[in-house]
Amino acid sequence: MKTLRFVLPSLVGVAMFLAPYPTEAGLNIGLGVLTDWAKALLDDWLPAIAVVIVCLSALLSLYAVLARPAWARDAKGIAAIFAVSRASAAVRAVGAVVACMILLGTGPAWITSGDTGGVILNDLMTVITIVFVFASFLLPFLTDFGLMEFIGTMLRRVVRPLFRLPGRAAVDAAASWFGSSIVGLVITTEQYDRGYYTEREALVIALNFSVVSVAFAKVVTDFAGLSEHFLPLYGTVVVSGLVAAVIVPRLPPLSRKRDRYSPAGRPATETDDAPGTGLLAHSLALALERAAQAPGPAALARHGLRTTFDVWFGLLPLVMVIGTASLAVANHTPIFDWLSYPLVPFAELLRLPEAAAAAPALLVGFADQFLPVILGQSIESELTRFVIACAAVTQLVYMSEVGAYLLKSKLSVSLPELFVVFVLRTLITVPICALFAHMIF
């Protein structure tokens, strides 16, 4: 019975988050298949649903802040989502106004156009709205029934010395690679909140292993006109990403983050192997112990509902504001062109053809992961487009999703720190990508 309590839910978690399934669009995970089905079912209604959620978030937050009703003064559970500071309520109000402008197509073009607010509302927020409905309720099958303990104990002898992380971080990485970066982020922040990661470990994982999915990497490759080079491109992404994951955590700002656990969590550090017990047996014993402590169906349902509402009413307004502002700066101002001037000599040093055109594309990924290949589409050199496509995947820190999510989380990280990590990852991964590109072309 104990074994079944570990095996059956864990198999559901693997099937939903880790097992790749072939689809018409390429490899996907079970969660991705469910998300695509729901998107097709709701179709044109999704942007309006997202706007309604953002508007409700603003109205309830403003009411809680200004009127101070009883439920806001003693906020618990779902009510706590709306009992926020005045600054957070103001951001949610701005997000609601911007969302309505985009949906109705009224207002300045730099807000409502298809390459700024339109991308955030129609392409990003609709996905987040749907994916978290499924992820919030399915994630416990991956994290609460012993699979993290089993894999973490089996892999810790490799993961700990290489990346200075618990072995369970391998589950986060696999969920990102087969699913999406947002799935990996959800797992990481959940594990931090429960005391399985320290703040430093959670940030290292979030900023080094929450890689975009294989499916998205294929989309980037096709858009860059490099479909026939997908396998070498993704191999380059894996190699450069692993190198960055070894180096970046050992540099500031991540190296300066404290190994402190969440105040709300209970520290759950890895244990040494039991004397006279093999690694497999010890891993299984820890997994069975965790499965025996797993919450029941009612507790899992309450947690799933709370997580869904937290993302809907807390994250979506932030994504609306930060994402739209980032894309507006990238697409409608010369700021990224100015900031990219120092990267021109860097690109020339790497012998990238059309270095002046490549430099802005290497920097604009901080705003959104798809912008580099959009800017680089006009570059004639396949070698340079190859490097830009690799950078779009390996830079990883982009404000339209990853940055907005981390700034909203309980992890202590600032916008300047996110930019520093982005620059470090660029300086480390791009030379490796250029080396492989020169070998291929």
Over residues 234-285, the pLDDT tens digits come to: 889 989 999 999 999 999 999 999 899 887 766 665 555 555 568 888 888 8
Residue 28's H or E segment, with its range, is strand 26-28
* Interatomic CA distance for residues 61 and 56, integer angstroms: 8
Task: Kindly tell me if the per-residue pLDDT of 177 is higher than 70.
Answer: no
Task: Kindly tell me if the per-residue pLDDT of 415 is higher than 90.
Answer: yes
> What integer pLDDT is reported at residue 215 of this predicted model?
64
Over residues 185-226, the pLDDT tens digits come to: 888 888 898 888 999 999 999 998 877 766 677 778 877 888
How far CA 297 is from CA of 144, 294, 300, in Å, comes to 12, 10, 5
How far CA 124 is from CA of 100, 302, 370, in Å, comes to 16, 26, 11
Closest CA to 422 of 379, 377, 364: 364
- Spatial contact of 200 and 236, defined as CB atoms under 8 Å apart: no
Query: What is the chain's mean pLDDT, rounded?
Result: 87
Over residues 335-392, the pLDDT tens digits come to: 988 989 999 999 999 999 999 999 999 999 998 888 888 788 789 999 999 999 999 9
Number of neighbours of residue 280 by Cβ within 10 angstroms: 11
DSSP state of 22: E
* Interatomic CA distance for residues 211 and 356, integer angstroms: 27
How far CA 284 is from CA of 53, 151, 341, 352, in Å, comes to 43, 9, 54, 50
Task: Kindly tell me if the per-residue pLDDT of 333 is higher than 80.
Answer: yes
> What integer pLDDT is reported at residue 350 of this predicted model?
95
* Interatomic CA distance for residues 80 and 364, integer angstroms: 36
DSSP state of 259: -
CA trace torsion 75, 76, 78, 82 (10° rounding): 20
Q: Which residues contact 319 (CB under 8 A, 6 or more apart)?
A: 120, 124, 125, 128, 400, 401, 404, 405
Task: Kindly tell me if the per-residue pLDDT of 307 is higher than 60.
Answer: yes
Q: Which residues contact 298 (CB under 8 A, 6 or more apart)?
A: none
Per the listing, tokens 């689809």 go with 23
* Interatomic CA distance for residues 408 and 424, integer angstroms: 22
Encoding tokens for residue 25? 């669009």
Q: Which amino acid is at 371?
A: L
Phi/psi at 28 (nearest 5 deg)?
-150, 165
Rg of the chain over Cα atoms, rounded to whole angstroms, equals 22
* Interatomic CA distance for residues 214 and 234, integer angstroms: 8
Residue 295: helix, strand or coil by DSSP?
Answer: coil
Per the listing, tokens 């047996």 go with 281
Q: What pTM value is reported for the model?
A: 0.80
Rounded to a whole number, what is the distance in angstroms from the first to the last CA of the chain?
57
* Interatomic CA distance for residues 80 and 55, integer angstroms: 17
Per the listing, tokens 């190198």 go with 243
Per the listing, tokens 């926020």 go with 84
CA trace torsion 121, 126, 127, 131 (10° rounding): 140
> What integer pLDDT is reported at residue 163 of this predicted model?
87
Over residues 270-284, the pLDDT tens digits come to: 555 555 568 888 888
Task: Kindly tell me if the per-residue pLDDT of 157 is higher than 60.
Answer: yes
